[in-house]
């Protein structure tokens, strides 16, 4: 089963509009010829509209970093799927570990956000992954299984392949401590096996690895049998390193 790799750059709370513009203008020519790879950048909300304008007609899609599950309402500080679509945004990161840890994002909310994103026509990147303590306690699989089972609870089995899952061990995010290829392959294959229990579409689901991916380690990680791309934080903040990771995903 061949799945088109996706490399997504999570800019987190970095880049003013001017800085984002400089980054995208440096990135676009570097990735213009990478035809067998899907590429997305995920700027902060303030830079979404200008990045959609700047990336129009290019190989680079623009995703948001979060959304609310309701269409509209009294939810101060939140943004709906309809608002993202209105800007020309094509997808959204959901359940990033930083949102789970610092902003109270729950699996119950994600079980509503995932179908809301799909209904709206956005491609969700659902993040799952264990803490270091959970890994050391041998609880990685139980934790990742619980996240997947909760978060996919309201997704129709025939729509599973429209979701992208990012396996991100929390101890590897922003730390420079990348998972070993064996750890990444084992966890990503486990994600697919859990989804296969619920949907016949599991072989078509793209499962990314995230956690300290760099231009140096990307070739090895992206060559793994079940790894269909990467969710990239720090290394997506410069055009050179992000483009190097995109090039490493070329099939």
Residue nearest ligand PEP (C-beta atom): 233
Contact at 8 Å (CB) between 208 and 129?
Answer: no
- Least distance CB 157 / ligand PEP (angstroms): 27
Q: Does the active-site annotation cover 168? A: yes
Number of residues that bind ligand PEP (CB under 6 A): 13
Q: Does the active-site annotation cover 96? A: yes
Nearer to ligand PEP, 40 or 173 (CB): 173
The reply to whether 211 sits near ligand PEP by the rule CB under 6 A is yes
Contact at 8 Å (CB) between 229 and 187?
Answer: no
The reply to whether 210 sits near ligand PEP by the rule CB under 6 A is yes
* Residue 116: CB atoms within 10 Å: 22
| Binding test (CB under 6 A) with ligand PEP, winner from 65, 123, 212, 217 | 212
DSSP state of 213: -
- Site mask for ligand PEP (CB under 6 A), range 125-154, x = bound: ------------------------------
Contact at 8 Å (CB) between 204 and 144?
Answer: no
On the 0-12 / 13-18 / 19+ scale of CB atoms within 10 A, 197 is exposed
Planar angle of CA 17, 23, 29, nearest 5 degrees: 135
**Catalytic pick among 38, 68, 69, 96:** 96
The reply to whether 221 sits near ligand PEP by the rule CB under 6 A is no
Nearer to ligand PEP, 37 or 199 (CB): 37
Q: How many helices (H) and strands (E) does the chain have?
A: 10, 8
- Least distance CB 208 / ligand PEP (angstroms): 9
- Least distance CB 231 / ligand PEP (angstroms): 5
Q: Which residues pair with 208 in a beta bridge?
A: 166
| Binding test (CB under 6 A) with ligand PEP, winner from 29, 174, 193, 197 | 174
- Least distance CB 233 / ligand PEP (angstroms): 2
- Write out the E strands in the chain: 6-10, 38-42, 60-64, 91-94, 123-128, 164-167, 206-210, 229-232
Contact at 8 Å (CB) between 184 and 230?
Answer: no
| Residues with catalytic roles | 96, 168
Binding interface with ligand PEP (CB under 6 A):
10, 168, 173-174, 210-213, 231-235
């Amino acid at each position: 089963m061949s799945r088109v790799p996706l490399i997504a750059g999570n800019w987190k709370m970095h880049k003013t509009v001017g800085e984002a513009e400089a980054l995208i203008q440096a990135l676009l020519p570097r990735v213009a010829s990478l035809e067998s790879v899907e590429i997305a950048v995920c700027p902060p909300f303030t830079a979404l509209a200008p990045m959609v304008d700047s990336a129009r007609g290019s190989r680079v899609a623009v995703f948001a970093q979060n959304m609310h599950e309701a269409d509209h309402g009294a939810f101060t500080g939140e943004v709906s799927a309809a608002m993202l679509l209105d800007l020309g945004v094509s997808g959204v990161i959901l359940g990033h570990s930083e949102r789970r840890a610092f902003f109270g994002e729950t699996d119950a909310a994600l079980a509503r956000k995932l179908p809301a994103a799909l209904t709206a026509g956005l491609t969700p990147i659902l993040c799952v992954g264990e803490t270091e303590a959970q890994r050391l306690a041998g609880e990685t699989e139980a934790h990742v299984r619980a996240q997947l089972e909760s978060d996919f609870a309201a997704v129709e089995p025939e729509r599973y392949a429209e979701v992208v899952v990012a396996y991100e061990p929390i101890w590897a995010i922003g730390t420079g401590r990348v998972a070993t290829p064996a750890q990444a392959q084992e966890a990503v294959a486990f994600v697919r096996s859990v989804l296969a229990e619920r949907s016949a579409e599991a072989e078509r689901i793209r499962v990314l690895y995230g956690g300290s991916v760099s231009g140096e380690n990307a070739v090895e990680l992206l060559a793994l049998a079940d790894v269909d791309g990467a969710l990239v934080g720090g290394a997506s903040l410069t055009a050179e390193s992000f483009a190097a990771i995109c090039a490493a995903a070329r099939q």
